[in-house]
A and B are shown apart, each in its own frame.
Chain A
């Protein structure tokens, strides 16, 4: 018997009507397994009967299912209302995904997000480090600038003093006295410019050691046969400064270290530098 004859024999209709013995049913199952045409024909017959029953209000009351489910017990996976109302395919197909699509998508997003988080954090940290480094650099540059400014200021001051000294040297009215170091400070030296017209005395602090705290250098004009005449205390930091007016027959100038504010009497043993006027 070929499949067509088999189908037309009416055995498939009898199968669903419950008119076959168990052996006969198993025989139909075997035929259906071997021949797809038989299988699909069998399923088509069942569907049409089922649909007919549904539309014509045949078949068992839905309460039968409800009671059965109730008896089976409440289960978390079962959604009762769905089973009563819904079409099965969509729900079933969804079950195929052991992991739901949205959760796969969510997982991917999470991983991507975590990746980005890491990336962003790394970038952020890098940027932060760079900012810190830049700030440190800027601070250093600022320090350098300050230093440079100080240096420039110093140099300008030095230049100003140098110019001032040169001006004093070049001034034809000035008498120039170089004072050299005495035994207590052999390396020391300083210069005095004495204006013969105004009698003003200028000191050029060239190389005098830093005075101890509470002490100041003091310039003295020395006239033969007299005690040293006070020519004024001066600031060690100021290279060139105008001191007192000195008149008369000065033979030499000397610098002593005195208490701050100066002394009326020169402390001769603390004479650092001394120079004599050239005899003209």
Chain B
């Protein structure tokens, strides 16, 4: 187990705060992990399990594992995210060995239809609409690249295949898209 940080300051990073709270056995740590890494971890799961609902179930298991094995994290060995990803990958692979996973593969299509209906539209608030307008300034292809790469669980190779793009172009275009995104948000 890593040594607990003696204190936190106002400019402590999110990672430092989470590690501190984990060592302190404070559930707020899980909440912070969810807010800051949840989408990225779900994305990691989706690389293995494409189904959104099942991926979310796995994420729930992952969060529990993180909570229960918090003392296993050692910040000397690597970053928090690297540790989280290794737990997440193992959990996702474990899931593929379950009966649930095999059954879901057969009814994948119907579940996908349901998940489309469940998507929040986010149009109810004016502010959200405004920011969404800003986001829409991103070229469609860039949004697509970000969506697939960070939220859809697609590997660069899969994206290249899907969008009929050379692998190298996928990499540089994702980088460009992130750069563009950072100028907007």
- Contacting residue for B27 out of A47, A63, A77, A84, CB 8 A: A77
**Shortest distance in angstroms between B15's beta carbon and chain A's nearest beta carbon?**
8
Tell me if B73 counts as interface (CB < 8 A to partner A): no
Taking a contact as CB atoms under 8 Å apart, the answer to whether B42 and A10 are in contact is no
Taking a contact as CB atoms under 8 Å apart, the answer to whether B17 and A88 are in contact is yes
- C-alpha spacing A176/B63, complex, angstroms: 132
Taking a contact as CB atoms under 8 Å apart, the answer to whether B174 and A10 are in contact is yes
**Closest chain B residue to A54 by CB distance?**
B39
**Closest chain A residue to B8 by CB distance?**
A96
Taking a contact as CB atoms under 8 Å apart, the answer to whether A16 and B40 are in contact is yes
Taking a contact as CB atoms under 8 Å apart, the answer to whether B132 and A55 are in contact is yes
Taking a contact as CB atoms under 8 Å apart, the answer to whether A58 and B151 are in contact is yes
Taking a contact as CB atoms under 8 Å apart, the answer to whether A72 and B128 are in contact is no
- C-alpha spacing A17/B172, complex, angstroms: 14
**Shortest distance in angstroms between A218's beta carbon and chain B's nearest beta carbon?**
109
- Contacting residue for A58 out of B56, B147, B155, CB 8 A: B147
Give the chain B neighbours of A43 by CB distance below 8 A.
Answer: 13-14
Taking a contact as CB atoms under 8 Å apart, the answer to whether A48 and B182 are in contact is yes
Known pairs A17-B149, A60-B42, A92-B21; A25 contacts B31 (CB<8 A): no
Q: Could you mark each residue 40-62 of chain A with 1 if its beta carbon is under 8 Å from any beta carbon of chain B, else 0?
A: 00011111111111011111110
Tell me if B164 counts as interface (CB < 8 A to partner A): no
Taking a contact as CB atoms under 8 Å apart, the answer to whether A19 and B26 are in contact is no
Q: Could you mark each residue 122-144 of chain B with 1 if its beta carbon is under 8 Å from any beta carbon of chain A, else 0?
A: 10000010011001000000000
Taking a contact as CB atoms under 8 Å apart, the answer to whether B34 and A64 are in contact is yes
Interface residues of B in 6-49 (CB under 8 A from A): 7-10, 12-14, 17, 20-21, 24, 26-28, 30-32, 34-36, 38-40, 42-44, 47
- C-alpha spacing A25/B150, complex, angstroms: 16
Q: Could you mark each residue 48-89 of chain B with 1 if its beta carbon is under 8 Å from any beta carbon of chain A, else 0?
A: 000000011001100110010000000001110110011000
Q: How many B residues face the partner with a CB closer than 8 A?
A: 65
Interface residues of B in 131-178 (CB under 8 A from A): 131-132, 135, 146-147, 149-151, 153, 155-156, 171-172, 174-175, 178
- Contacting residue for B56 out of A16, A61, A78, CB 8 A: A61
**Closest chain A residue to B5 by CB distance?**
A96
Taking a contact as CB atoms under 8 Å apart, the answer to whether B27 and A78 are in contact is yes
- C-alpha spacing A109/B8, complex, angstroms: 26
Taking a contact as CB atoms under 8 Å apart, the answer to whether A29 and B38 are in contact is no
Taking a contact as CB atoms under 8 Å apart, the answer to whether B151 and A91 are in contact is no
Taking a contact as CB atoms under 8 Å apart, the answer to whether B150 and A55 are in contact is no
Interface of B is mostly: helix
**Closest chain A residue to B53 by CB distance?**
A61
Tell me if B99 counts as interface (CB < 8 A to partner A): no
**Closest chain A residue to B17 by CB distance?**
A92
Tell me if B121 counts as interface (CB < 8 A to partner A): yes
**Closest chain B residue to A26 by CB distance?**
B78
- C-alpha spacing A19/B17, complex, angstroms: 26
Taking a contact as CB atoms under 8 Å apart, the answer to whether B122 and A65 are in contact is no
**Shortest distance in angstroms between A270's beta carbon and chain B's nearest beta carbon?**
109
**Shortest distance in angstroms between B95's beta carbon and chain A's nearest beta carbon?**
14
Taking a contact as CB atoms under 8 Å apart, the answer to whether A57 and B119 are in contact is yes
- C-alpha spacing A43/B12, complex, angstroms: 13
Known pairs A10-B171, A25-B82; A92 contacts B43 (CB<8 A): no
- Contacting residue for B171 out of A14, A68, A89, CB 8 A: A14
Known pairs A72-B30, A78-B28; A29 contacts B78 (CB<8 A): yes
**Closest chain A residue to B147 by CB distance?**
A58
Tell me if A5 counts as interface (CB < 8 A to partner B): no
Give the chain A neighbours of B28 by CB distance below 8 A.
Answer: 77-79, 83, 88, 91-92
Tell me if A197 counts as interface (CB < 8 A to partner B): no
Q: Could you mark each residue 6-45 of chain A with 1 if its beta carbon is under 8 Å from any beta carbon of chain B, else 0?
A: 0010100111111100100110110010000000000111
5 shortest interchain CB distances as A-B pairs: A59-B39, A83-B31, A78-B27, A18-B44, A68-B63
Chain A residues within CB distance 8 Å of chain B: 8, 10, 13-19, 22, 25-26, 28-29, 32, 43-53, 55-61, 63-65, 67-69, 71-72, 75, 77-79, 83-84, 88-89, 91-93, 95-96
Q: Contacts A68-B64, A93-B8 given; 15 further ones with Cβ under 8 A?
A: A18-B47, A18-B85, A19-B155, A22-B86, A28-B82, A43-B14, A48-B185, A52-B150, A55-B132, A58-B39, A68-B34, A88-B32, A88-B35, A96-B7, A96-B8
